[in-house]
Structure 1
Amino acid sequence: MTRTLQEQLIKNGLAKKPMKKRRQKNKIQKSKEQLSKRELEELMGIRRDTFKPVKGSFRKK
């Protein structure tokens, strides 16, 4: 059996075992606020004014 230097040192008591890394759970806060359909559409950019060019300037449609 071939062992690494680290494993040999651990067996002989000359080195400490490496500590395992603990996984940290990301705490995600759930939004308790209920948004209406219209508010969601505004956030997504669906309900924006539309402009079209008229003689070099832009005007609302």
Structure 2
Amino acid sequence: HSEVRTLFVRGENSDYILPKHESDRLSYFPKSSIVTIDNAGHWLHMEQPKKLLMVLSTFLGR
């Protein structure tokens, strides 16, 4: 289990990280947050690169 701040980013059309997994995610990563990017599947970096960059930049404080 990790005590570091962790960001999970998912595409709204992806079935990889689902709401039913939230309790498991929080048990392993209690300081985690999750962001969903609209109009994207599992390949966020290809489908919505600008939105992904904005999310990552915000998380990293840049």
- Give the TM-score band, short-chain normalised: under 0.3
Structure with larger Rg: 1
Normalized against structure 1, the TM-score is what? 0.19
Normalized against structure 2, the TM-score is what? 0.19
Higher relative contact order (CA 8 A, sep 6+): 2
